[in-house]
Amino acid sequence: MCIIFFKFDPRPVSKNAYRLILAANRDEFYSRPSKLADFWGNNNEILSGLDMEEGKEGGTWLGISTRGKLAALTNYLQPQLDWQARGRGELVTHFLTTDVDSLSYLKKVSMEGHLYNGFNLIAADLRQLPDPAIEDQGGEYVQPVLSKYAAVCVRCPGYGTRTNTIILVDADGHVTFTERSMMDKDLSHWETRTYEFTLQN
């Protein structure tokens, strides 16, 4: 189960304060192919990792654009997955690559959510961040696995936390994006990358 923590203050009192602090873990099967976070898209304006699983290529779990759009996705456990459902990672990619504002996008997604397996989605314009309701999730079937998967850092055979991400946005719109990723399915081999940029006016 992926975890996202964030704090948002649209008008920080101090110039040394942050508008946004976001920390996230991506828990995933170690064998699922993905690219490490890097810039991509038109004019390299989007920063994210990318899913490379066949049929799901180009989706992502968390990303930010130089235009101030941010989206993050977590899946949630359900009794049975629909293997014909659309890839949830496209929800993040579509938001980051369109000009639709976050509230309009979330309303659209709420009408199309049945096309995907269960998910939670954060979509934000860093100049207007809505507070969408978080859906209740789970049920009796979840309880037996919570002790394994509901941890800040998941470690199970073949599955667990592969990526840690922190995004900081200061009062002047300066973004620091740091990601630590497990390499080659090796729990002892991690790589950290940091990117910095300023949001465009």
Question: HEC string of 70-128?
Answer: EEEEEECCCCCCCCCCECCHHHHHHHHHCCCCHHHHHHHHHHHHHHECCEEEEEEECCE
pLDDT, tens digit, 9 for 90 and up, residues 14-27 = 777 888 899 998 88
> What does the pLDDT read at residue 148?
61
Alpha-carbon distance of 109 to 178, in angstroms, equals: 28
State mean pLDDT over 155-180. Answer: 89
> What does the pLDDT read at residue 136?
42
Report the predicted TM-score, pTM, of the whole model to 2 decimal places.
Answer: 0.71
Task: Indicate if the pLDDT at residue 146 is higher than 70.
Answer: no
Alpha-carbon torsion angle 42, 191, 175, 13, nearest 10: 160
Collapsed DSSP state (helix, strand, coil) of residue 42: helix
State mean pLDDT over 58-75. Answer: 93
Q: Which segments within the chain are labelled E, that is strand?
A: 3-8, 18-29, 34-40, 46-51, 62-65, 69-75, 119-125, 155-156, 159-170, 174-183, 186-198
Percent of the chain, pLDDT > 90?
49
Which helix (H) or strand (E) segment holds residue 146: the answer is helix 143-149
Percent of the chain, pLDDT > 70?
85
Residue at token pair 């203050």:
9
> What does the pLDDT read at residue 191?
93
pLDDT, tens digit, 9 for 90 and up, residues 87-143 = 999 999 999 999 998 989 999 999 999 999 999 999 998 867 433 333 344 455 555
Would you place residue 185 in the very low, low, confident or very high pLDDT band (cuts 50, 70, 90)?
Answer: confident
Nearest alpha carbon to residue 22 among 193, 177, 197: 177
Would you place residue 174 in the very low, low, confident or very high pLDDT band (cuts 50, 70, 90)?
Answer: very high
Domain boundaries, the chain: 3-125, 162-200
Alpha-carbon distance of 91 to 78, in angstroms, equals: 19
Alpha-carbon distance of 125 to 108, in angstroms, equals: 16
Compare 42 and 197 and report the one with higher pLDDT: 197
> What does the pLDDT read at residue 139?
52
Most confident of 3-12, 75-84, 122-131, 159-168: 159-168
* Cα 122 to Cα 74, 125, 191, distances in angstroms: 9, 10, 26
